Amino acid sequence: MFEGWEFVTAGYGFTFLVLAVFGYLTVRKGKRISREVPPSKRRFLD
């Protein structure tokens, strides 16, 4: 009944973990670097 689930768990686990960690690190680095940039130079968000 549970045959094959270990591969499914590994595949889904890796996928969601990698994307979540990469997304989190990107947003965190963005917040950190934003502080080093003068407000007038951050206007790409407009």
Partner 1 sequence: MTATDKNFLTTSSKSTKVIGSVALAAGALTLIFGLIVAPPHIEQGQSARLLFVHVPSVIATYLSYFITLVGSAIYLRKKSLFWDRVAGASAEVGSVFCAVLLFSGSVWGRPTWGTFWVWDPRLTSTAVMFVSYLGYLAIRRMDMEPAARRRRSAIVGILAFVNVIIVHFSVDWWRGLHQSRTFEPSDVQIEGWYLLSFFFGTVFFVSTQAWLLIHRFRLSHLESQANAAKLDQLIDLRQSGDLGSAQTREKVV
24 in contact with partner 1 (CB under 8 A)? no
Q: Is 15 a residue that touches partner 1 (CB under 8 A)? A: yes
User: What does the block give as tokens for 46?
Assistant: 């407009």
Least distance between partner 1 and beta carbon 8 (Å): 5
Structure tokens at 7: 């591969």
Q: Is residue 34 within 8 Å of residue 42, measured between CB atoms? A: yes
DSSP one-letter code for 37: S
Interacting residues toward partner 1 by CB under 8 A: 2-5, 7-8, 10-12, 14-16, 18-19, 22-23, 26-27, 29-31, 33-39, 41-45
